[in-house]
Amino acid sequence: MTRSLLASSCIATLLGLSPVAGPVFAGPLDEVVQIDVLPGWRTDAGTQMAAIRLTLAPGWKTYWRAPGEGGIPPEFSWRGSQNVSGLQFHWPVPEVSDQGGMRSYVYHDTVVIPVELTLDSAGQMTVLAGSVDLGVCDEICLPVTLDFAATLPEAGARDGAIVAALVNRPLTEAEAGVGAVTCSVTPMEQGILVTARMTLPSAGGEEAVVIEASDPQIWVSPTETMRAGGVLTASAQMIHVSGAGFALDRGAVRFTVLGRDHAVDITGCTAG
């Protein structure tokens, strides 16, 4: 069982839910999902812009970093990488999927996830290697582990697939015209209720808000969202997987607003 599945099981127990067994998939996994590394290029800042590409069979989907209800978030290990001291994901905007009253944030077909690497030394060979645990779903859902490895060229050319994925990102707070962002916290029998009020123009259509805590051991429920003029309000319950109390770091809470026209990435809120 992966860590994310274990966390989901703990939350289900806390909420009094029973896990439901599903059908078993007997086919080869490489017919469902394949992984490869796009080696990318060296940026003007001296970082290496590479990408992980996932190719899914028709009808199958996988999940964004915050999967929503019932999904499995991708969890990466970078064991085997060389000359890499740090990295940053540039996640493309996911699709909002509503099925049977459950909302998830997913990718279909092919997704390219840019990964910007900080290098130990500009003159050494760079290897991006590791594995990822993720969930893939069609009529059934499967947890899978995929291994990857590639040597990254120092003089690689800009890759159109990576560039397109970088363009398909949420707007920054400055680009979206975000104003004040406040959070109020209400204790509950299980965890806390966080209510965020964000001043920003509409992202278009029916907006969905994803709230993420900085601690991966804190489970966040689906949000309830309401807009009144220039203020978007989103509320969600947070529960620690251990069932214990916790202190919320407001400055590290991440909000993603997903709308018809664009998405917005917001970090941090003040007490309010």
Same domain, 144 and 200: no
Q: What is the pLDDT of residue 16?
A: 41
User: What CATH number is associated with residue 116?
Assistant: 2.60.40.1250
Beta bridge partners of 126: 152
More confident of the two residues 22 and 160: 160
Same domain, 15 and 73: yes
Are 213 and 192 in contact, with CB atoms under 8 Å apart?
no
- For residues 166-195, average pLDDT: 97
Same domain, 87 and 219: no
Same domain, 122 and 152: yes
Give the pLDDT band (50/70/90) at residue 27: low
d(CA 128, CA 151): 6
Same domain, 189 and 152: no
Residue spans of alpha helices (H) in 78-197 = 160-167, 173-176
Same domain, 116 and 203: no
| Number of structural domains found in the chain | 2
Beta bridge partners of 208: 258
Q: Kindly state the tokens that stand for 200.
A: 């920003």
Chain centroid offset of residue 52 CA = 14
Residue 139 has pLDDT above 90, yes or no: no
Q: What is the pLDDT of residue 99?
A: 80
Residues 6 or more apart in contact with residue 181 via CB below 8 angstroms: 196, 197, 198, 199, 255, 266, 268, 269, 270
Residues 6 or more apart in contact with residue 106 via CB below 8 angstroms: 61, 62, 63, 64, 67, 68, 71, 94, 95, 97, 137
Q: What is the pTM of this model?
A: 0.87
Residue 89 has pLDDT above 90, yes or no: yes
d(CA 6, CA 71): 13
Q: How does strand 192-199 pair with strand 181-187?
A: antiparallel
Q: Is 168 exposed, middle or buried (0-12, 13-18, 19+ CB in 10 A)?
A: middle
Q: Last residue of a domain, which of 148, 167, 186? A: 167
Q: What is the DSSP string of 234-246?
A: EEEEEEETTS---
- For residues 192-198, average pLDDT: 98
Residue 5, SS3 per DSSP: helix
Residue 194, SS3 per DSSP: strand
Are 48 and 126 in contact, with CB atoms under 8 Å apart?
yes
The single-letter DSSP state of residue 229 is T
> Which residue type sits at 91?
W
Q: What is the pLDDT of residue 101?
A: 81
Give the pLDDT band (50/70/90) at residue 119: very high
Residue spans of alpha helices (H) in the chain = 3-14, 160-167, 173-176
Residue 4 has pLDDT above 80, yes or no: no
Same domain, 132 and 180: no
Reading phi first (left if > 0) and then psi (alpha if -120 to 50, else beta), residue 136 is in beta
Identify the domain containing residue 128 by its residue range. 3-167
d(CA 204, CA 172): 16
Q: What is the pLDDT of residue 110?
A: 97
Q: What is the pLDDT of residue 20?
A: 38
Same domain, 10 and 121: yes
Q: Last residue of a domain, which of 152, 167, 182? A: 167
The single-letter DSSP state of residue 20 is -
Q: Lowest-confidence range among 41-50, 95-104, 164-173?
A: 95-104
Same domain, 143 and 51: yes
Mean model confidence pLDDT for the chain: 90
Same domain, 27 and 112: yes
Residue 31 has pLDDT above 60, yes or no: yes
Q: Lowest-confidence range among 27-36, 61-70, 92-101, 257-266?
A: 27-36
Q: Last residue of a domain, which of 110, 139, 167? A: 167
- Of all residues in the chain, the percent with pLDDT exceeding 70 is 90
Same domain, 67 and 193: no
Q: What is the pLDDT of residue 28?
A: 64
Same domain, 240 and 161: no
Q: Which residue has the tokens 């004040």?
A: 180
Q: Which residue has the tokens 């966040």?
A: 220
Give the pLDDT band (50/70/90) at residue 171: very high
- For residues 237-241, average pLDDT: 95
User: What CATH number is associated with residue 215?
Assistant: 2.60.40
